[in-house]
Copies of this chain bind each other. A is one copy, B any other.
Amino acid sequence: MSLDSDTTLSAVGDGRFETEIVDGWDIRGNANGGYLLALIARAMLADCARRDPVTISAHYLSPGRPGPALVQSQVVRSGRRFATVSATLESDGRPVIQALGSFGDLAPISEPVHIDSAPPELPAPETCGRYAEVRPDGQANAFMQRVDLRLHPDDAGFARGEPSGEAKIRGWFRLPDGEPLSSLSLLLAVDSFPPAFFNVKPPQGWIPTIELTAHLRGRPAPGWLRCAFSTRFVTGGFFEEDSEIWDSSGRLVAQSRQLALAPRDQPDTP
């Protein structure tokens, strides 16, 4: 059980890939959006024969339930440096996510030219609580067994009903059992933390993501990732959540932004 083994797929021709939404990556029954993004991106990479996602956008159409899934992928343009690919992941006869991405090779990382930010300062991972540990009930959803998250103590208050008041969550990310980090794992990381907005409004159940875009800048060095999530605008019935992901060598390896429905617009079902 690993990100790698749970995103395997088999090409069946014409850009079609058979795969599976593996049980255990869910939050209350719905597969995590980052896991679904890694799953479809792996098929798109295979279809265009490139190494890494560079930029990928996904629109979330219906909840991903465990079971067989089919990716239908189409290479829109294959250029010297990038291939652009459009794909749908369907399960149980319904479209689950629709994605559009450009893929290439992140290997030749050049030195930063200009940086107006720094990795978040975090206490050592050992002194930051796991998500289950910071909750008074000690419970974590299935998804939180699939990733190893450590929350900055200053940002973990929401979990015990004491939101910090600032829509920010910082923490560490790695894959369990020493699984190495790939560029695909960054697509998981960018959607792996509880919503930063929970530190303004306490958890209110399922927050539907409408769209998520991730930009990858480099393949991550081995070790913990430093992650920072923030929300600045909850307005018009929507909110954005931004992430920055830094690797153990201090390089920015991913940025993401997602648009989600603000809690007031959620249905009442949990």
Contacts and interface: CB of A to CB of B under 8 A. Distances in A.
Interface residues of A, number: 58
A235 B115 contact: yes
Contacts of A213: 57, 211, 213, 257
The copy count of this chain in the complex is 2
A60 B113 CA distance: 24
B98 A237 contact: no
Given A200-B114, A231-B114, A259-B215, A59 B88 contact: no
A182 interface: no
Given A167-B114, A200-B114, A211-B102, A255 B237 contact: no
Nearest to A79: B61
6 contacts: A55-B210, A55-B259, A57-B100, A77-B95, A113-B262, A114-B231
Interface of A: 54-55, 57, 59, 61-62, 76-77, 79, 82, 84, 86, 88, 95, 98-102, 106, 108-117, 166-167, 197, 200-201, 210-211, 213, 215, 217-218, 231-240, 251-252, 255, 257, 259, 262, 264
Given A108-B237, A113-B235, A215-B259, 20 more contacts: A55-B210, A55-B211, A59-B100, A59-B101, A59-B102, A61-B77, A82-B210, A86-B98, A86-B100, A102-B210, A110-B236, A112-B234, A113-B264, A114-B234, A114-B239, A116-B167, A117-B232, A217-B235, A218-B235, A236-B252
